Amino acid sequence: MTQPASPAGAADAPVPGGPPPPAPAGRKEAPATTRRPLGLRADVRNLSLLAVLAVLVAVGGFTRPEQFLDTANLQLVLTQASVIGVVTVGMTFVITSGGIDLSVGAIVALASVWATTLATQEYGFAGILFTAVVVGLGCGLVNGLLIAYGGMVPFIATLAMLASARGLALQITEGRTQIVTVDAVLDLGVPDAYVLGIPPLVLVFAAVTAVGWLLLNRTVFGRRTVAVGGNPEAARLAGIDVRRQRLYLYLLSGLCCGIAAFLLIVLAGSGQNTNGNLYELDAIAAAIIGGTLLSGGRGTITGSVLGVLVFTTITNIFALNNLQSDVQQIAKGAIIVAAVLVQHRTARGATEH
């Protein structure tokens, strides 16, 4: 066979008409090319969601100027977005990793009733907060172990958790509404507790969002989440412990559910086994219209939060205009379709290759 005959440097030797030789390593950095395709795409999606939100604000302001455009309404919309918003942040991580968590609503229900039993209320504020968070983490741990180490499909494992957590919540309450009598908890939900006009619930939501954003975009944990979702086999072969990462992700989702359950207790002043009804669908919908890929590998906290705000604003505008729930549901479905269509169009225009 032919043996190497030309010098090793052949590849680098400049050839007339050939590509320019690469810059030698160690030379001063060329002016940074600041094209960031991924960021660009996320921006486009967020921009289109912002546009949707702007249209909604215009509609709200036009139809009900006095009620829609005031501080109290802004506080209201953000407060109503807080509980589902926190759940959606956790869900965004799970979906980004290629998973799904159908049990979020049920975990919120279980955590909120467990944290509001008479026995728990004996321990006051700390007892309620602790119980809500630990129950959320516990459910997330079970989900994570079943999926990461038990080899169960996320859809099935979390569906099972949905059923059993709802069942346990019902067993604890026996269908009763558990009214909270701990003043320290109740006081968090009234205007006296607002910090510079911002409800504490909204502050928690903002904090969870900020931490979530940093975690996803600036940490090893976030990078691994994206890697596991984008290509689990490549992540495994690159030396990432994919199973442990999955366990942590469901724990994170459970933690978010626990926090959300506490917020819901503050908001509603009670715990009930019907809490968190269909949160799983709302959270998934918000994450998807926000631009997180259902198949995993790409996630955006900003988009998810915008998605939640779009939904909450729609509900608000409809309620202010006294439209009934049938119309609300139809419109919500239509807006999901429209938002996703608009995004597809703009995203395709910007990134088609």
Q: If binding is defined by CB under 8 A, does position 3 make contact with another protein?
A: yes
Structure tokens at 92: 């965004």
Cβ pair 92, 299 in contact under 8 A: yes
CB of 232 to another protein, least distance (A): 10
Residue from 82, 97, 120, 304 binding another protein (CB under 8 A): 120
**Cα separation, 14 vs 24, whole angstroms:** 13
Looking at residue 322, what DSSP letter applies?
A: T
Q: If binding is defined by CB under 8 A, does position 226 make contact with another protein?
A: yes
Q: Which of residues 128-147 bind another protein (CB under 8 A)?
A: 130-131, 134-135, 138, 141-142, 145
Tokens 């979702």 -> residue: 229
Residues with Cβ within 8 Å of 111's Cβ and at least 6 positions away in sequence, in order, are 131, 132, 133, 135, 136, 139, 257, 258, 261, 262
Query: Which residue number, 331 or 350, has a Cβ lying nearer to another protein?
Result: 350
Structure tokens at 75: 């506080």
Structure tokens at 211: 């931490």
CB of 151 to another protein, least distance (A): 10
Q: Which of residues 11-40 bind another protein (CB under 8 A)?
A: 11-12, 15-19, 22-26, 29-30, 33-38
Residue from 210, 237, 281, 330 binding another protein (CB under 8 A): 237
CB of 100 to another protein, least distance (A): 19
CB of 206 to another protein, least distance (A): 19
Looking at residue 191, what DSSP letter applies?
A: G
Binding mask 303-322 for another protein (x = CB under 8 A): ------------xx--xxxx
Q: Please, is 267 exposed, middle or buried when counting C-beta atoms within 10 Å of its C-beta (0-12, 13-18, 19+)? A: middle
Query: Which residue number, 50 or 152, has a Cβ lying nearer to another protein?
Result: 152
